[in-house]
Each structure stands twice: as structure tokens, then as C-alpha cells.
Structure 1
Amino acid sequence: MKRMKFSRGSASVQLSRGFTLIELMIALVLGLVILAAGMAVYVSSSRSSQVSQMETQLNEDGILALNLIQQQIKQAGYSSQVIPSNGATVMGNYAGLAVRGCDNGFADASLAFDSLSCNSSGGNGSAIAIRYEATADNTVPTSTGLPTNCIGNGINAVTASQAAPAPAPPPGNYALADNRYLVSISSNQPALSCRGAEGSGAVGGLEPLLANVERMQILYGVASRPSRELAAAYDAMRHQIVSYLDATSIDALPTTGVFPDETLDRWGRVLSVRVCLVMRSEQPVRDAPDGGFTYKDCNNADATATDGYLRRTYTTTVLLRNRLIVQ
């Protein structure tokens, strides 16, 4: 038997060979680099989209919150007006304080207006009490036609008229809106909340109105002397804002003697209210940067939030138009 011999010169046989270990490792590293770059682009794009959606929601919430508090402050001090024979502008019913505030919240927001006192520290920023004559036109009335407070409960007309001198015929009882606005936090969910008096002297429970309001800071534009709605002519000392003060500074003002009641004398100088709201996103941002998110606080200073939530501040200044003389 003859043995077959294969000549390498005439008929070469090409054998397939695989990657070496080094080539395989290089390919694997390159694949991981490309995958990591793709993931980084995806995460960045996803985060940007989420942040954009949250910023839009923050703007909507902030505008709604400002509109609500603006609407209430504009009504502060409102009263039906009559012009008696002596020519003076007289508040036909309510002639008391329009607003009263605290920098660190009320010690007990359920107390009567004249018994309200302030916390010395803590709280979630400022709180403000707003009073005005409530009617079916400046509130959302109940099904029976009663004017309502900030949480929608009816207010009975049990408050006696404060008009002096009393017009003829003298007005009867009226409904007095007495609403207290503050920020409350429950289960890590902040909200602008309110307690409203119901006309019988009782103050209702605290009810959230708008979510994601984390803090409220209020300054008050004050005149040199208290406003006098009973004055017959304009007085620059009573109707020109000379400074913006916080509630603590107003409580420390020297009295002028215009009103015997010191609280009325001091808070009767308030002609405008500047409100700053710190809004917080409803949920934290996924994969938030380690350095957190920077925003401007109510003092226009840079602040950094490291808990993953977005924050923005929204500010408005509202004139107390019912504290001005009607010519």
C-alpha cells in the first residue's frame, strides 16, 4: 500500500484561526467604552427631559400659588363704603386691621385674631392673617348664598358694624373673612395651607390648598403713620411707603399715638405686602448630580439643594388698595 503525501507547495491548506486573548480583551474594552458613552448620553438626555418637565410644573404651581395669595391680599381690609354728609370716606362695616403676620408662623393659628402671637423660631417661614368683609361677590358662595372662607366653609353674618360715624340707616351685621395662610408639611409633602374663621368665632382646621409650596417669606411696605380710612383727604405720611419690614420689625416699631391699640397703630401702617414663595418639585430628580441643584432663595442669595429636589422662588408685591383714601 502506498502512502499519500500532500505537497505544501502545490496545494496549500489554509487553516482558520480565532482571536488571541489580547485581541479579545481589546475588543471587549472598546465595546464597554462605547456602551458606557451611550448610557451616559441616555442618562443625560433622560435627566434633562425630567428636569424640564419638573421646571414646567414648578412654574405652573408657582403662578397658581402667587395668584391665590394675591387675590386674598387685594381684598384685605375691604368693607362696604358709604359717604355720609360730612364728606369723609367712611368704611361702612369693617375698619380693623387688614393684615397681621409672623416671621416664624403663628404660635397657635386657631386663636381669635386679636389673640394671635408669633413663634420665636422654627416654622416653615412666614404666616399671614388676612381680614375683610366677605360677600357673595368676593368669595365663592355656598349653595345657600353664604360667603365663604378660604377653605370653602360658609361665614354667617354675625359681626357688628364698626362704622363711625354710623350712616343712616345704620348697617346690620356682616360676614367677616378671617383667613390665616401658612406653609405646612405632612409626610414630607409641603403645601400652602389655610385656616378660616366661620363667623361664629370658631376657626376651622388647617386645610392644604396648593401642594409643593415649601416656604413663604413676607415683607410689608409701611408708611410713617397708620392709615386712616376716615380721613377726608390724602396724607402722604399715611399713604407713602417708606420701607419694607418683616413682621418682627413691625412689632418693634414705636407707636405714634394715632390709635390707642398698639397692634393697630403698628400694623395699621402696612400699605403693601411682598410675598416670596419657595416651590419644590413633587418628586426628586433621578440620578441627581452629586453637587445638587442651585437656586436663588428669597433673599436673592445662591442656595444649593442636595436632596435631589428642584426648587425655584416666585415673588410678587401687592398693594393694599383698601387702605387708601377714596377721593
Structure 2
Amino acid sequence: MKKQQGFTLIELMISLTLGLILSASIIQVMISNNATERVNRALASAQENGRFIISRLRGELLMTGRYDQMSPNLNTNVDTVVEAAFVLNTPVPLPGDFASAAAKGAIEGGTGASDTLMVSMLATQDCRGLRFGYAANEEFFVVNEYFLDGSSLKCRGFDGRVLQGQKVAVGNDSDKAYTILDDVNSFQVQYGITDDFANTDNSARPVQYVTADALAAAKVAGAEVVAIRVAVLVKADSDIVISPTPSFKLLNEAPITPSDKRLFKQFETTIILRNSKNKIRSRNI
């Protein structure tokens, strides 16, 4: 009978080495897959937040400059002819436009700082869903304000008649801002304006985009706001560290490099103000 023999020491060492190599490869693949999944989740969260805020802003800003005097639901407790003229001619109010709220209006944030956007319209509620004492389907002069508070993009609505000193504010939270999106690093706005009075072009095409601090002079010259361009820089909901942090250029601003070394994504949209365009085109009739 043949004598049985086991594995030699060299064979065992080779087997252990191959096993360790295989185990290390499997662990490396698992680590890589986990990192990829985290990046994908971060990108998905940033993409979802960006699409949400762009969709919401677009839906609300499309109504800028709307005022229908023939609406059966219009509250007529004030001179609606004068009010309609104000909304149609001032779709984007600036500081000094409101009789009883001189500080309210669209504001250019300066170098690197976020902007403040303010728009006026006829609606049944403000950007927070508040009606300021009006009936459920009653339309009134609404003014919405959008601004960045820390890393939260917030909105706040006003009764335009209160800002004009025509009535007293109703409700104890009329000046309270609601957060519509967290983890926002920057909020920038530009305004598309038409040619001035010296030009006979009544097509209501935006010929250039300017910041809020240039709107006053443009309006004096006869230009009209017919578009709003918005850009936001959103931080992903993740603890992934990005080093070095990339820079982002939002509209006319200098490149922005976030101090937080996380994943960021930039979103932009241009909203054409159809109510303002229709008002300008009606001059041809």
C-alpha cells in the first residue's frame, strides 16, 4: 500500500498568499462600489434639489406682472386702475417703489453675496400660501420676495396694498419667511430688459441682462423687464469630501469657491415674463 502524504509547507504558503490576494481584491471592489454608490447618492440628491427649486421658481415667477382687471375674483376695495398700472409697470419692484415700505425691492447682493428677488402680481395667495384675510378664491395684489438666509433659500410674501399704505396688515405671521430649500450656497439673479424709448422695437425681446442695481437707470430710459434669469449653487446631501473644491461661475459673478469641501452642483434657468411681454406688445395696437 502507498503511503498517504499531505500538502507541503510551500504549497500551503502559496495557497494562503493566493487567498489573501483574492480577499484583498474583493474588499477593494466592495470599497470602490461603496464609494461610487455614495457619490451617486450625493449627485442624485443635488440633482433632485436643484430640479425642485428651479421648477418651483419657474412656476411662481411666470406669473410676474400679471394683473387682470376683468377677473371676476378681483378684490375691488381699492382703485384697481391705479393698482393695475403699478403692477404692469413695476413687475420687479425696487427700493423706493412702495409708498409705505421704501426698503423693499429687488437688491443686488454685491461681489460674491447673494441677491434678493422681489416680484409683483395678481394672485389668490403669496408664495407661502397665505391670503392675508382675503376670501379663498379672491385675487389681490401679491408681492413675493426670495432671498438667501445663511444656507437656506427662503420666500416671504406681502399684501401689496399694505406696502402701498392702503390698508393695515392682517395676520401675525405676515412678515415670516418660509424655507423652500436648504443647503444653498449662492442665489444670483439677472433681469432681461428691452430697448429704451429711443428705439422703436416693440417686440419685447430682452436685449441684455443686467443686475438689480442697474434697473433703476434702465427704467428711467424706458426699458422694461421682460425676463428673469436665476442661478443657484446647491450642496449635495452627503459627507463626501471633495479636495480641491472646484469653482463655480454663476451669471455675472466672479467664480465662487465654496469653503465647505463637499459636492456642489450649479443650476440656472431663464423665465420669460409673458405678462410683461404682452403689455409691451399691446403698444403696437
Matching residue within 152, 156, 164 for 1:195: 156
Larger of the two Rg values belongs to structure = 1
Aligned to 2:204: 239
SS in 1 for 2:84: coil
Deviation at 1:151, TM superposition (A): 1.5
Taking the TM superposition and a 5 Å limit, the aligned residue runs for 1:1-327 are 37-81=25-69, 93-96=83-86, 97-100=90-93, 114-116=102-104, 118=107, 121=110, 124-134=113-123, 147-156=124-133, 175-185=140-150, 190-198=151-159, 200-201=162-163, 202=169, 203-225=174-196, 236=201, 239-253=204-218, 255-256=220-221, 269-285=224-240, 288-292=241-245, 294=246, 296-299=248-251, 307-324=260-277, 325=279, 326=282
Q: What is the CA–CA distance in structure 1 between the aligned matches of 2:85 and 2:21, rounded to whole Å?
A: 74
Q: What is the CA–CA distance in structure 2 between the aligned matches of 1:38 and 1:61, rounded to whole Å?
A: 35
- Residues 77 and 59 of structure 1, relative CA distance in 2, 3 Å threshold: same
Deviations 1:210-266 (A, max 9, x none): 23333211111111227xxxxxxxx5257232211122233454833x5xxxxxxxx
Whether the 8 Å contact between 1:193 and 1:206 is mirrored in structure 2 is: yes
Q: Percent identity?
A: 20
RMSD: 4.0
More displaced 10-residue stretch of structure 1: 300-309 or 45-54: 300-309
Q: What is the CA–CA distance in structure 2 between the aligned matches of 1:297 and 1:249, rounded to whole Å?
A: 20
More displaced 10-residue stretch of structure 1: 43-52 or 121-130: 121-130
- Higher normalized helix content (fraction of residues): 2
SS in 2 for 1:315: strand
Whether the 8 Å contact between 1:295 and 1:311 is mirrored in structure 2 is: no
Deviation at 1:323, TM superposition (A): 1.2
Deviations 1:263-320 (A, max 9, x none): xxxxx621111111212112322xx35434x475324998765734221111111111
- Residues 306 and 122 of structure 1, relative CA distance in 2, 3 Å threshold: closer
Q: What is the CA–CA distance in structure 2 between the aligned matches of 1:289 and 1:240, rounded to whole Å?
A: 41
Q: What is the CA–CA distance in structure 2 between the aligned matches of 1:284 and 1:304, rounded to whole Å?
A: 18
Whether the 8 Å contact between 2:92 and 2:119 is mirrored in structure 1 is: yes
Deviation at 1:192, TM superposition (A): 2.0
- Residues 240 and 114 of structure 1, relative CA distance in 2, 3 Å threshold: farther
Which structure 2 segments of 5+ residues have no match? 1-5, 71-79, 164-168
Whether the 8 Å contact between 1:125 and 1:216 is mirrored in structure 2 is: yes
More displaced 10-residue stretch of structure 1: 245-254 or 69-78: 245-254
Whether the 8 Å contact between 2:108 and 2:114 is mirrored in structure 1 is: no
Q: Which residue identity lines up with residue 150 of structure 1 in the other structure?
A: C
Deviation at 1:209, TM superposition (A): 1.5
Which structure 1 segments of 5+ residues have no match? 1-15, 83-89, 135-146, 158-172, 227-234, 259-267
Deviation at 1:194, TM superposition (A): 0.8
Deviation at 1:80, TM superposition (A): 1.0
Q: What is the CA–CA distance in structure 2 between the aligned matches of 1:53 and 1:282, rounded to whole Å?
A: 8
- Residues 241 and 205 of structure 1, relative CA distance in 2, 3 Å threshold: same
Q: What is the CA–CA distance in structure 1 between the aligned matches of 2:83 and 2:219, rounded to whole Å?
A: 28
Q: What is the CA–CA distance in structure 2 between the aligned matches of 1:41 and 1:67, rounded to whole Å?
A: 38
For these two proteins, the number of residue pairs brought into alignment is 246
SS in 2 for 1:75: coil
